[in-house]
Amino acid sequence: MLELKNYRTQVHNDWCPGCGDFGIVNAIQMTLLEMQLEPHRIGLFSGIGCSGKTPHFVNAYGFHTLHGRVLPIATGAKLANPSLTVIAVGGDGDGLGIGAGHFVNTGRRNLDFTYVLHDNGVYGLTKGQASPTLPKGLKTKSMPAPSIVEGINPIAMAIASGYTFVARSYALDVRHLKATLRAAIEHRGSAFVDVLQTCPTYNDINTKEWYAGDDLPSKAPRLYKLEETGYDGRVADPTVRDETNSKKGNALLKSFEWGEKIPIGVFFKMEVATFEDQLANRMPALKEKPFVEHDIYSRDISPLLDELA
């Protein structure tokens, strides 16, 4: 029986006190524990940013990659060894700024993996510039003037790109985040989880108090759970185009709800063939065994060279 300590490392953590990233790393460890996934069967990859340090603190395979490049690396790992549980993590700048092209094209593939976006509205590591998710007109304490560009809606972008599981959670609601991560990991296909993350050092707008609704006359929390409202984003039969389209449309509409009320939970879910399954159908050698088990060094490639000569 694996215990929480099996998912922890001894690496010193230098995130700022109160950073929402602590909630995310705790939720990841608790999800892996709940699922009893063995650390050597997990690949956890990150981009660059404060969020990029996450794999340092989780005992699993994986690494801290390059800014905006976590998704190609996670894709390579999953294709080489489909038996791995692959989780990619990264910041909103990492995934929706420099890595936006990879975000879109990875969604189109429907690889069986999970992508966790640390959505804090700022470039935390580089001292708080506006990230692509910061709405137009807002000015955090780290900015000299309000943003004059529109913010990206990550949920809408994920749905438009083809992710087949699209959800949102909150870094400071570890119970909800754990349940959402588990559902994302269990989903067969590309799962995207937009995690609203507080950055107390640079983002003084989307704070813990703001999410709790302290500034509202009602004092009611901004975040509410989709699953408690009767909303159902699951496509029962993906072969029925009208159903798929209407579920995507509902999810898009919901994703633009942002203000006094902000939905969290599963916006969209659909089970269709994964990229790996389709690839294995096309390449018989992969059906037999994964890339990682092929002896590529002693393989005789002379028939292939003769064919190309």
Can you give the binding site for ligand SF4, defined by CB under 6 A? 15-16, 19, 21, 50, 120, 124, 199-202
Binds ligand TPP by CB under 6 A, chosen from 78, 102, 109, 118: 118
Q: How far is 282 from 276, CA to CA, in rounded Å?
A: 10
Q: Which of 197, 274, 269, 189 is nearest to 226 (CA)?
A: 269
Structure tokens at 91: 């910041």
Given 2, 35, 104, 125, the residue binding ligand TPP (CB under 6 A)? 125
CB 54 within 8 A of CB 46: yes
Task: Out of 82, 91, 99, 263, point to the residue binding Mg ion (CB under 5 A).
Answer: 91
Select from ligand TPP, Mg ion, ligand SF4, none the partner in contact with residue 65, using the beta carbon and a kind-dependent cut-off of 5 to 8 Å. none
To ligand TPP, the closest distance from the beta carbon of 83 in angstroms equals 30
d(CA 222, CA 97): 26
Sheet with 85-91: list strands edge to edge: 42-46, 85-91, 113-119, 190-196, 165-170, 262-269, 223-225
- 147 in Cβ contact with 309 (< 8 Å): no
Does residue number 151 form part of the binding site for ligand TPP (CB under 6 A)?
no
Tell whether residue 45 is a contact of ligand TPP (CB under 6 A). Answer: no
Residue 12 tokens, joined: 């010193």
Minimal distance, residue 124 CB to ligand TPP, in Å: 3
Least Å from the CB of residue 117 to ligand SF4: 13
C-beta closer to ligand TPP: residue 161 or 203: 203
Interacting residue ranges for ligand TPP, rule: CB under 6 A: 48-51, 67, 91-94, 118, 120, 122-126, 131
